[in-house]
Amino acid sequence: MIYTVTLNPALDCFLRPEEFVPGGVCRYDNALFLPGGKGVNVSLLLESLGVDTVASGVAAGFTGRELMALLEERGCPVDFTELSNGRTRVNIKILPEGQPETALNGGGPEVTAEDLRPLERRLSELSVGDFLVLAGSVPGSLPKDIYARLMRAAPKGVKTVVDASGPALREALSERPFLIKPNLEELGEVFGVKLAGAEDAVSYGKRLQELGARNVAVTLGGGGALLLTEDGRVLERAALPGKEVSSVGAGDSFVAGFLYGYIRERDIGRAFDWAVCAGAATAFSQGIADGEQVKKLFREHFLIEN
């Protein structure tokens, strides 16, 4: 089972007015509401791929209840801790025809370490062989080492994936996560440098391994991806050909694809192949891809005929 944690989820609201005029009255027909957040996205794709998963984290107010309801409507089990105060943030995406997108991203509720005690208890009940995914930004009210604390709450033998940036990622390294997945910019942020490309990614990815990460995947956008394995290999995959629609959620899908491939084939190289296909499938889609899109790309690019 794969248990994902999103500490700062969102209810994403997509609006498509015929025209967007700042300061004017703009009309639209229907608003589209979707569950958002990095761990949420991982669980959504895993569910579509047929993997046993639970989406968890913190939710608050009527927006939090709607977030959970939308996940359940899509067949994704939820286990969120509900806060007594505040509301889960709402991100507004304004998408007028022929005009640039405008995004208004909201702030989430205040979350304290005490609020996460129920989550820590549930993590302690995970089983050896389960996976724990800690993904996304950390509310400013929480300590920087909160991901490391949550990792310590899980039993030994639970493999952890951390998809975060900055101090939250760096603090988690001491707990030896099974996989971390920074993009090139996030990798540079850990060390306070600007990285130029694949050569830099390999160099600094190895430094992350020295700090505790077992396997390091670095996504390079149009430059493909790299995987530094705990047995010392550096694997490279080119970006798959196709028309990019949106990069939003592609990194989250990469994580989901990796876990699906690893569970399916128990081979880290093949897991990497699945990850690349999942990231590309979402990049070629409006929203998170479904499992069939991922499998189609895998058949086209990585299936080995016997």
Query: What are the backbone angles phi and psi of residue 81, rounded to the nearest 5°?
Result: -85, 125
From first to last of the 306 residues of the chain, give the pLDDT tens digit: 999 999 999 999 988 898 888 888 888 888 889 899 999 999 999 999 999 999 999 999 999 999 999 999 999 999 999 999 999 999 998 888 888 888 888 988 999 999 999 999 999 999 999 999 999 999 999 999 999 999 999 999 999 999 999 999 999 999 999 999 999 999 999 999 999 889 999 999 999 999 999 999 999 988 899 999 999 999 999 999 998 887 888 999 999 999 999 999 999 999 999 999 999 999 998 789 999 999 999 999 998 653
To the query of whether residue 252 is one of the catalytic residues in this protein, the response is yes
Catalytic residue among 115, 130, 252, 273: 252
pTM, entire model: 0.93
